[in-house]
Structure 1
Amino acid sequence: MDETTLDRLDLFIGGRWVAPRHGGSTDVIEAATEKVLGRAASASTADIDAAVVAARTALHGPWADYTAEQRADVLDRFAAALKVRAKSTAALVSRENGMPITLSISVNGYGPAAMFSYYAGLIRAAASEDVRPSMFGGRTVVRREPIGVVAAVTPWNYPQPLSAMKIAPALAAGCTVVHKPAPETALDAYILAEAALEAGLPEGVLNIVPGDREAGAHLIAHPGVDKVAFTGSTAAGRAIGEVCGRLLRPVTLELGGKSAAIVAEDADLDVFAAALLEVSLPNNGQTCHASTRILAPRSRYDEVVDAVTETVRALRIGDPLDRETAIGPLVSAAQRERVLGYIAAGDRAGFRRTTGGSIPATPSAGWFVEPTVFADVDNTSRIAQEEIFGPVLTITPYDGDDHAVDLANDTEYGLAGTIWTTDEARGIALAARIESGTVGVNHYALDMAAPFGGVKASGLGRELGPEGLAPYQQPKSIYLGTR
């Protein structure tokens, strides 16, 4: 690939490629080489203003007259355009953030296309209004109208699917979107603009404006925005929630996590170990729903520690574009220093480090950290309570199911979790006791047709499934008198 072709120095506003008002750009660094991969345009507040104006204009333009069937046709064409680009998109994201290509192919490549197709099918099948008999005579027509202009702000760890989780249902509902992707993965965001053009999306319905925190804050508080959809850290989510609360602006917040994996006494450890990479260390641990706190029954504690340690020690570290790689580099030097800081905190606390904990000797370049396991970890410690967002697992013993549930729930977060048992009914019963928006029994994977989101400090609202469409719709009741 000719790296000069990766420079994307224009913004996508009003259906056109537009130079930033102040000519700003940001270097996107390749995680595995630490070299500049390309430059991306960086939006100023003036560019954000222009994008919001374009979105508001489009909201009342031809897009407002599209039927649900016509919007669905656009979404299907959008999906087809993304699918054609799936392999190249996946490779680009892996270069940007270090995600192993075997994961990136599914989540950044084909996953977003499937999401657009899913919402196309959903709006074809759903009525835009229904008529209900009134308790007092007459009838009420309940309409579901687009909420308006949506500010979609996304992070760098799963840039394509997290963008699609907002853009696809918003477009399905008839909204228009101003999307601010993270600077670290700004290059792949342009693929969404290319797909929008190929799909024939009317001008201004989708606007792509990469930018820094100042640009994001300006967008979130912009008077021309009707709803905010954000994925990112809990700290940033709290600040965004405060702004939206003051403005009485609807907001969806998908935030951090510190999920527990409860290994029951009857668990099949071979099954658990085989799924460990996907469930506890996906994307090099840079995953909000990862089960990074492993809770092991005291009666089988040594077995669990050995199984986890041996599995993690055997994971292959290397080039994220190599299909044999299990653990790639972290997204940035700052992220690597953050993770190493937590490993040092675990060492200072005296916990038993059973594997990993250092920067590997090879590869010589890239922001790599060895996948690390700490055993005998106090559940109240920093490494058990704070989201590390890297390849670090902790193991804590428990005595009985009640103790395991108490430990799992002893966190400010509530996004995900897993239960490992050969008795599915027992697993479901334990899952019901976990204070979390999602739980997996003997595995974990997001279901596109089911709601995803957290409780407590893990966020507000839900994405995916029919529940992911509702936040972009505004119900309106039209009361009709008796005839």
Structure 2
Amino acid sequence: MKPIQLISPVDGSVYLERMPLSADEAKAAVARARAAQKAWAAKPLEDRIALVKAGVAKLNDMSAVIVEELAWQMGRPTRFGGEFGGVNARTEYMSDIATATLAPQIIEDSDKFRRYLARDPVGVVFIVAPWNYPYLTTINTLVPALIAGNTVILKHASQTMKVGERLAEAFHAAGIPEDVFQNVVLDHATTEALIAARSFGFVNFTGSVGGGVAMEKAAAGTFTPLGLELGGKDPGYVRHDANLDAAVDTLMDGAMYNAGQCCCGIERIYVHESLYDAFVEKAVAWVKTLKLGNPFDADSTLGPMANKRFAKVVRDQIADAVAQGAKPLIDPALFPADDGGAYLAPQILVNVNHSMRVMTEESFGPVVGIMKVKDDEEAIALMNDSPYGLTASVWTQDYDTAQAIGQRIETGTVFMNRADYLDPALCWTGCKDTGRGGSLSYLGFHSVTRPKSYHLKKV
């Protein structure tokens, strides 16, 4: 068995390496989690909530070192800090709604019958987390899973293995037992074998479509519930009545922030013909203000992509589009840090269409294509012309218009005048090849619990 290496995008060095668990060691970890679950679930709900919140507080105490570690692991500039704003907001909201969400729903409580619907923890929850927002995506499931009385096994992406270790360190320091929350390093074969062996009550995976397919194959015949967030090609639509400056600022930030490595990042933009020229001009000016560089430099607003192979995907998409007639509007010479590897200059493409990979395949990098449309009908048809459906951003001045358009878009979330954002009160979900299931909101608790009906009769 070979060690798993984390190659830093900052300088190409080996940042850390860890040995994956053997098959027997992995089975033993699952056994410990199962053995610990009943006692954890027996703790009062308010105690579990307090311990989880204490774990997040301990994580906040590590913020300075975590921000630096994130830069080394996946390239995000340190000027943007960590992910603590979202981590804290989501933890607070899910903690606040836990009591009401997990409380039994009483149908009848009389001298003849007591009928109610309860929610039981599923047992052991397995989280397979991604590298792009490694703390936020883990917290989305970790917090409700622990609060609901489950034990958790976390396998983090190889690109952000240190994140799993920090989470375990913080939660254990807060008093959560080590067997209740375990961070593990696993290879693909052992991961799939554990799922196939019915080791878990729920599996939450965030990653590629190919990874999701592997998860479903591993779980086939086990009836293990899966939560899958697998990808996106999220569109923005700028109507004729949009606030142009606000649309440019938000959509371009949504396309370029985190080097475009956002699950719900903007990857394609459709602009009404009356605003198209002005939007493109302002978008180009916006991108030219970015500074690509070492993530530890205070003035860097764009760091390297997490791995040079991810950057190659984007470069290939751009090259293919240009070969088919697309026009690049950003001169890479403006970004001398572009090294042909992980450091990639941002790009805006026009004269694009849906025969080009850059408009249909997930890019997950700092590139966006912009198309002119004549009306809502054309925009809706283009937005739906995608195998993915995570979010869609509509720019208009009218709630009813945005709602009517949103009802026709095949997507998990409809935004009006915003993009690339998660609201913990609203379910994070998708459709089509983006996956299935949902996290956050009260439905996030439903994913990590199962309904249990009580029909009690007096005689």
Measured against the shorter chain, the TM-score band is over 0.9
Within 1, Cα distance between the matches of 2:14 and 2:247?
39
1:172 to 147, 150, 166: 147
CA drift at 1:407: 0.7
2:93 to 100, 115, 118: 118
**Structure 1: runs of 5 or more not aligned:** 1-21
Q: Where do 1:354-369 residues align within 5 Å?
A: 354-356=329-331, 360-362=335-337, 367-369=342-344
Equivalence for 1:332? 307
The answer to whether the aligner puts 1:454 opposite 2:423 as a matched pair is no
Matched letter for residue 84 of structure 1: D
Alignment check: 8 A CA contact 1:416 1:454 kept: yes
Within 2, Cα distance between the matches of 1:176 and 1:201?
10
Aligned to 2:250, what secondary structure does the other structure show?
A: helix
Matched letter for residue 167 of structure 2: L
Aligned to 1:327, what secondary structure does the other structure show?
A: coil
Aligned to 1:115, what secondary structure does the other structure show?
A: helix
Equivalence for 2:60? 83
Within 2, Cα distance between the matches of 1:345 and 1:309?
21
2:123 to 136, 141, 148: 148
Within 2, Cα distance between the matches of 1:277 and 1:215?
40
Within 1, Cα distance between the matches of 2:351 and 2:281?
13
Equivalence for 1:400? 375
Per-residue CA distance 1:162-193 (angstroms, 9 max, x = gap)? 11111111101101111110111101211111
Within 1, Cα distance between the matches of 2:457 and 2:301?
64
Alignment check: 8 A CA contact 2:9 2:304 kept: yes
Matched letter for residue 394 of structure 2: I
Within 2, Cα distance between the matches of 1:99 and 1:251?
30
The answer to whether the aligner puts 1:48 opposite 2:26 as a matched pair is yes
Per-residue CA distance 1:197-237 (angstroms, 9 max, x = gap)? 11111231111112332233233323221211110112221
1:31 to 1, 6, 9: 9
Within 1, Cα distance between the matches of 2:336 and 2:193?
43
Equivalence for 1:7? none
Across the aligned residues of Structure 1 and Structure 2, the Cα RMSD in angstroms comes to 2.2
Equivalence for 1:239? 214
The answer to whether the aligner puts 1:74 opposite 2:35 as a matched pair is no
Identity of aligned residues (%): 31
CA drift at 1:341: 1.2
Moved more, 328-337 or 95-104: 95-104
Within 2, Cα distance between the matches of 1:408 and 1:365?
31
- Structure 1 runs of 4+ aligned residues shifted over 4 Å read 356-360, 363-366
**Taking structure 2 as the reference length, what is the TM-score of the superposition?**
0.93
1:467 to 439, 443, 447: 443
Alignment check: 8 A CA contact 1:259 1:414 kept: yes
Within 2, Cα distance between the matches of 1:118 and 1:209?
27
Alignment check: 8 A CA contact 2:106 2:115 kept: yes
Within 2, Cα distance between the matches of 1:144 and 1:446?
25
Aligned to 2:12, what secondary structure does the other structure show?
A: coil
CA drift at 1:119: 2.6
**Structure 2: runs of 5 or more not aligned:** none
Moved more, 471-480 or 32-41: 32-41
Moved more, 473-482 or 42-51: 42-51
Per-residue CA distance 1:386-422 (angstroms, 9 max, x = gap)? 0011111001121111111111111111001111123
CA drift at 1:126: 4.0
Within 2, Cα distance between the matches of 1:242 and 1:359?
46
Q: Provide closer, same or farther for how the CA distance between residues 357 and 43 of structure 1 changes in structure 2, counting only shifts above 3 A.
A: farther
Moved more, 178-187 or 316-325: 316-325
Within 2, Cα distance between the matches of 1:131 and 1:125?
12
Paired residues, number: 457
Within 2, Cα distance between the matches of 1:215 and 1:358?
45
CA drift at 1:88: 2.0
The answer to whether the aligner puts 1:281 opposite 2:256 as a matched pair is yes
Q: Provide closer, same or farther for how the CA distance between residues 322 and 288 of structure 1 changes in structure 2, counting only shifts above 3 A.
A: same
Q: Provide closer, same or farther for how the CA distance between residues 475 and 384 of structure 1 changes in structure 2, counting only shifts above 3 A.
A: same
Aligned to 1:144, what secondary structure does the other structure show?
A: strand
Within 2, Cα distance between the matches of 1:316 and 1:359?
9
Within 2, Cα distance between the matches of 1:357 and 1:43?
43
Matched letter for residue 209 of structure 2: T
Within 2, Cα distance between the matches of 1:274 and 1:396?
17
Per-residue CA distance 1:353-408 (angstroms, 9 max, x = gap)? 11156894326696111101110211242111100111110011211111111111
Alignment check: 8 A CA contact 2:125 2:203 kept: yes
Equivalence for 1:250? 225
Within 2, Cα distance between the matches of 1:318 and 1:361?
9
Within 2, Cα distance between the matches of 1:426 and 1:165?
31
Within 1, Cα distance between the matches of 2:196 and 2:253?
37
Alignment check: 8 A CA contact 2:131 2:160 kept: yes
Matched letter for residue 446 of structure 2: A
The answer to whether the aligner puts 1:375 opposite 2:353 as a matched pair is no
